[in-house]
Structure 1
Amino acid sequence: MIGPVSVLSIQSSVAYGHVGNSAAVFPVQRLGVEVWPVPTVVFSNHAGYPAWRGPLLPAEQVREVVRGVEELGVLPEVDLVLSGYLGGEDIGEVVLEAAAAVRAANPGAVFACDPVMGNAESGAYVHPAIPALMRERMVPAADLVTPNQFELGLLTGTAPRTLPETLAAVDAVRASGPGTVLVTSVLRPDAPEGTLEMLAVHGDEAWLVRTPRFASKSHGSGDVTAALFTTHLTRDGDVRDALERTASSVYDLLRLTRDSGRWELQLVAAQDHFAHPAMQFRAERVA
């Protein structure tokens, strides 16, 4: 699809800070895109803090929200369904039902799955049933997936480190269903020290972009990355451009967050970097 996009985003929501929909919605809106957020949890803050409050919404309540949107007759307007962290298997079923309903209403719609399961530093932090659900149901149903390198390993039963290993794991994921894979954090032993890379594979093209790596960890940065990349690609159809725009925006978001001395992502301060990326990083074609 080339042109305006509307996004149905089914993710967690927090009152304080920015993860899930609380991270994804505003940056995409600054691109001039309509976003319809459906919460799967409503927490006071993300689980990186010692404590939080609020409900993990039952699957039937999330289903009711999607059903209510469907009854408005507006699903044909949805161009992109975006899913993120799943609190349980039952929420996964709701996401799959929503993606199927949108595709029935708009056959050209894209289902983008961010298979949130963990990272190299923390390991897996989801319910033990979620990796199998992702491998067997969610990822095969998706058009586009956005794992980090650790999650790519969970999806393929491998531990990719080098670029050839990472590309091979991406090929294995694509063979299961999705045509496009964005690996949101590639850490390989032969990359320059202090750098982080992202790899996007789409059609017969594979592109790698490298940025400086920040020492501090920022919860929600992966949610922003997935939302921006999937929206850029769905709207404009150019994988290299989508990758470069996303890398530029997320780098400046993390830079401003670091300079602020605060833990939470500084989304508002970075808003112009979403709408007008500096395009300071260029991607290299690697396949």
Structure 2
Amino acid sequence: MGDKWDGKGSMYVPQDLLPVYRDKVVPVADIITPNQFEAELLSGRKIDSEEEALEVMDMLHCMGPDTVVITSSDLPSPQGTDYLIALGSQRMRKPDGSTVTQRIRMEMRKVNAVFVGTGDLFAAMLLAWTHKHPDNLKVACEKTVSAMQHVLDRTIRCAKAQAGEGQKPSPAQLELRMVQSKKDIEDPEIIVQATVL
């Protein structure tokens, strides 16, 4: 739906589609993967702390989805400004009808480039990994984010090589190297660990 650049949020889609996403799409979704800006739009609440992010994820759970992953946030990382924080929450029903919630946090290294399609790739991989590990959000997210990091690292290396020494890669050169990253997508080496909250 949108994202933040330089601290300012902007929608990719017309504003009048927000109620459609919030009131029609989210309630029938099993998994949603909003970034912080999108989570704020869907919930109507600002996120300025990890505690507020967890509250927003609970609100989003109440709207329908069992799995909510805020794929990137502006929250400060203990590792410094070169890292992004992602948060995940998964509600599971026990045989007795009660629910249990798993929550995780991940810190991933920023890649200094603008890519197209990262949200779609993240959502597709999370769907696949949660299908393989339905009761382990930690493992599903570690595999998803690690694979993303491999794809982005390969993409930026290839783009810089194509652009040449000291030149900024063009958007065409920054096209995600998914075919070249097939092995990393199918069986990623875990380079990003999740912390259970």
Q: Is the 8 A contact 1:161 1:189 kept in 2?
A: no
Does residue 278 of the first structure (1) align with residue 165 of the second (2)?
Answer: no
Which residue of structure 1 lines up, in the alignment, with residue 19 of structure 2? Answer: 132
Which residue of structure 1 lines up, in the alignment, with residue 2 of structure 2? Answer: 118
Q: Is the 8 A contact 1:247 1:281 kept in 2?
A: yes
Shift of residue 280, structure 1, vs aligned partner = 1.5
- The one-letter code sitting in structure 1 at the alignment partner of 2:195 is E
Does residue 184 of the first structure (1) align with residue 71 of the second (2)?
Answer: yes
TM-score by length of 1: 0.57
1:128-167 alignment to 2 at 5 Å? 128-167=15-54
Which residue of structure 2 lines up, in the alignment, with residue 234 of structure 1? Answer: 131
Distance 1:189 1:197, change over 3 A: closer
Q: Is the 8 A contact 2:77 2:85 kept in 1?
A: no
Aligned residue-pair number: 170
In 1, distance between residues paired with 2:196 and 2:133? 19
In 2, distance between residues paired with 1:172 and 1:161? 16
Which residue of structure 2 lines up, in the alignment, with residue 223 of structure 1? Answer: 120
Between 1:247-256 and 1:117-126, the stretch displaced more is 117-126
2:88 to 187, 192, 200: 200
Q: Is the 8 A contact 2:77 2:84 kept in 1?
A: no
Shift of residue 199, structure 1, vs aligned partner = 1.3
1:212 to 109, 120, 130: 109
- The one-letter code sitting in structure 1 at the alignment partner of 2:140 is A
1:245 to 123, 127, 143: 143
> Larger RCO: Structure 1 or Structure 2 (Cα < 8 Å, ≥ 6 residues apart)?
1
1:254 to 142, 146, 152: 152
Shift of residue 190, structure 1, vs aligned partner = 4.8
Distance 1:190 1:275, change over 3 A: closer
In 1, distance between residues paired with 2:33 and 2:62? 15
1:74-89 alignment to 2 at 5 Å? none
In 2, distance between residues paired with 1:158 and 1:236? 31
Query: Gaps spanning 5+ residues in structure 2: where?
Result: 92-100, 160-172
Q: What are the superposed Cα offsets for residues 21-57 of structure 1, whole Å, 9 maximum, x if unpaired?
A: xxxxxxxxxxxxxxxxxxxxxxxxxxxxxxxxxxxxx
In 2, distance between residues paired with 1:251 and 1:151? 22
How many percent of aligned residue pairs carry the same amino acid? 27
Does residue 172 of the first structure (1) align with residue 69 of the second (2)?
Answer: no
Q: Is the 8 A contact 1:225 1:246 kept in 2?
A: yes
Q: Is the 8 A contact 1:181 1:201 kept in 2?
A: yes
Shift of residue 161, structure 1, vs aligned partner = 2.8
- The one-letter code sitting in structure 1 at the alignment partner of 2:189 is A
Q: What SS does the aligned partner of 2:15 have? A: coil
In 2, distance between residues paired with 1:172 and 1:141? 15
Q: What SS does the aligned partner of 1:120 have? A: strand
Q: What SS does the aligned partner of 1:265 have? A: coil
Shift of residue 189, structure 1, vs aligned partner = 2.9
Which residue of structure 1 lines up, in the alignment, with residue 164 of structure 2? Answer: none
Does residue 267 of the first structure (1) align with residue 178 of the second (2)?
Answer: yes
Q: What are the superposed Cα offsets for residues 146-203 of structure 1, whole Å, 9 maximum, x if unpaired?
A: 1111100000112213211111111111111111101111221354210012211002
- The one-letter code sitting in structure 2 at the alignment partner of 1:281 is V
The list of structure 1 runs, each at least 4 consecutive aligned residues, that deviate by more than 3 angstroms after superposition, is none
TM-score by length of 2: 0.82
In 1, distance between residues paired with 2:158 and 2:61? 39
